[in-house]
Every structure is written in C-alpha cells, then in structure tokens.
Amino acid sequence: MKRLAATVPDLAGSGHMSCTFCRLIHEDTARWVFRGQLASAFAPLNALAPGHTLVIPTSHYTDIFDTPSEVLPGIMALVQRVAVEMRTTLAAGGVNILNASGPGSEQSVPHLHFHVVPRWPDDGFSTWPTQQSQHHVGVDPVVRLTAAMTASHQTTGNY
C-alpha cells in the first residue's frame, strides 16, 4: 500500500491534542501504512499479528456514535483496502476487523478506530469472545431492534 502525504488537520485549540491518535497524526510519529485526508492507517505498538493495522478517521471522532454517517464509507473503504492487501501481500487467509465504541465496550482510545488483524490457519489465537454476556434486556431484544430499525428506516431511508 502506497504511503501518501495527508493534509494534517489543524488541532491547535481544538481540544483534541489530548487524543493519542490525533497527536500521532499531528506529530507524524506513527508507522504509517497509509495517510489520507479522510482516513489513515498505521501499525500499533503491540501488534496482535504480523501486519496488524489500525484504521482511523483523520479527523477526530470519538466512536461509531459520534462519526457522521457520510464519513463512515470512506473509513470502511480503507479498512477493506488494508484487508485486501493483507490477503494478497501477506498471504493472510482472512482478517478480523475489530472495533469497540463507547464506554461500555472496553474502547481503549477515545478516537474511532478499527483493528484489521490478518489471520492464518493455526496462528495460535482467537479474537472471538469465549463467554456470553450476563446482561438481560427484559423484552426480546431482536423484536425491539427490529421495530427500531424499521421505524428509523422509514424516516432516514438511507440503507
């Protein structure tokens, strides 16, 4: 994947210099896989696998809930491009795409990010949860989600 220069957002006075990922962008201190105006990708300090890459919006958005819906397609296009390069360049058999959004999700850095982790048969680890949640939601959650999705689709109609 080609390394490109990106327009660095002006973070002075934005309050985002306390964000680890915003500082990496501003100070240009990451091991960049790709830098773009909308999304960027870099190697994490503690990779789960060879080639493990983080994809982030170049502008600061805290999580999936904070990110404008028109920004997400560009970020996901970079996630897909990184995944394809992992398969072709690193001969990965597949990838895991991981995201945690919000305080109840174990999100470690409050800047939207997707871990793209290349996988190979018998690579010795699992990224799937090994336990089920003990939380209960009363009324059938599938019924509740279906009703909410139907109602929001009628008002937004954008998917």
Query: Catalytic residues, which ones?
Result: 113
Query: 22 phi and psi, to 5 degrees?
Result: -65, -40
Residue with tokens 């990779």: 47
Are 79 and 1 spatial neighbours (Cβ–Cβ below 8 Å)? no
Cα angle, residue 81 at apex, residues 100 and 60 outer, rounded to 5°: 45
Q: Report the distance separating Cα 148 and Cα 132, nearest Å.
A: 24
**Contact criterion met (CB below 8 Å) for 47 and 116:** no
**How far is C-alpha 141 from the geometric centre of its chain's CA atoms?**
25
